[in-house]
Structure 1
């Protein structure tokens, strides 16, 4: 252990190294375990050394968000706007699956970080480059919400155990009290590790909503939709 600490001290400390070590620490131990003291121990330095690179914990979290967003793939060269947006959103989702703490931290920031702003600007540019008007793009960005960054706020933060849903008696009881919920609960493919509801397929549900939105945006674009049309109706 002392040898590891000595080796860590021989590697020059930099902002990039601080941020990537913090990301790795959050990946391995959870974001709630992250503190300046714990991070300093991981880097083999005294806590005060960190403040030359990040002013405080908030700046550290902002930098971690930027580091994670920087992992999202660039847009596909030569792709149409719909394909390019879909590819980037699914790349962002893959990144956040590698860093499951990131959505909570992104939502906790008082404002978008520079990398998030740059990412959102590039996504708006994909819609505009595809011919969507600035007006439609404005509403598209609102409709997409956090899906642009690869996550969505679901009804349930964590899935209940799937066993009761598979039990015939439990299903009959559910059907008696909540017939419509029971009907839809048994109507689709299921995944035991889901977080979007009892046994739902996370990836399928995410892509289903994403494609539904993109299809709708494309139809509005071809219709020449404007927000004035929406307000008048």
Structure 2
């Protein structure tokens, strides 16, 4: 008897598809190859399924993009909720800082996510819960809701762990940025700045000028300013 001819198929082909399984596979694909590589056909190949079978679990690619953002947002929320940092009085600043930097650690595992957070219109319930917890820390620190509202506006995307880019001279590459020669004479100061700046740690980067040092620099300026307002 030729047993090999009746060997069981790979385990991934025996696991039924579900929305959760589809979205987690999509996150892996985006992590490994970038979100631009995320197509329904390639996602189906990743799952060992027919592309049409995916539509029983996700409506279309837009639904997949919203879904993978929800996966990441949930990962952020569940991670920060494990933190146990006192936030009463002056301790609020360290508690908020730790929560935001912990959220950033999650995003660094999914570097495609910040651009999607900025481009998608749907808001994950996990993001709303994250902000509610952040505001709760500020309230423990003595913030009024009015000051907390101002604080969230001032923090902007930093509240979630990334800094929104002003411009991207390197097309998304954090090294070797250049201003086109024909523009250099017209933009002397930007040209000089871009030539001088180098972000040498790609593992800490979520954009051309959003590396860890720059992110923490901006975050600390905002938190220090908010702390002075809280003391008034």
Name stretches of at least 5 consecutive residues in structure 2 with no aligned partner. 1-6
The equivalent residue for 2:13 is 9
SS in 2 for 1:37: helix
Displacement after TM superposition at 1:179 (Å): 6.7
Contact 1:5 1:43 in 2 (8 A): no
- When the two structures are aligned, how many residues end up with a matched partner? 206
CA distance in 2, matches of 1:115, 1:31: 21
Instruction: Kindly provide the CA deviation profile for residues 164-190 of structure 1, in whole angstroms up to 9, marking residues without a partner as x.
Output: 9xxxxxxxxx9xx8479858976xx95
- Are residues 1:101 and 2:107 paired? no
Residue 23 of structure 1 is matched in structure 2 by 27
What is the TM-score with the length of structure 1 in the denominator?
A: 0.76
**Could you say which residue in structure 2 is the equivalent of 1:67?**
71
- Runs of 4 or more off by more than 3 Å in structure 1? 3-6, 177-186, 189-197
Tell me the distance in 1 between the aligned counterparts of 2:119 and 2:109: 19
Secondary structure of 2:63's aligned partner: helix
The SS at the match of 2:215 is: helix
Distance 1:221 1:36, change over 3 A: same
Output the aligned Cα RMSD.
Answer: 3.0
CA–CA separation in structure 2 for the residues paired with 1:61 and 1:5 = 30
- The answer (yes or no) to whether the contact 1:21–1:43 under 8 Å persists in 2 is yes
How far did 1:162 drift?
A: 6.5
Give matches, 1:44-123, under 5 Å.
44-72=48-76, 73-75=79-81, 76-80=83-87, 81-123=92-134
Query: In 2, distance between residues paired with 1:92 and 1:190?
Result: 24
TM-score by length of 2: 0.76
Mapped contact 2:80–2:102 kept (Cα < 8 A): no
Q: Aligned match of 1:208 in 212, 217, 221? A: 217
**Which residue of 198, 202, 218 corresponds with 2:227?**
218
Equivalents in 2 of 1:135, 1:203: separation in Å? 30
Unaligned runs of 5+ in 1: 165-173, 224-233
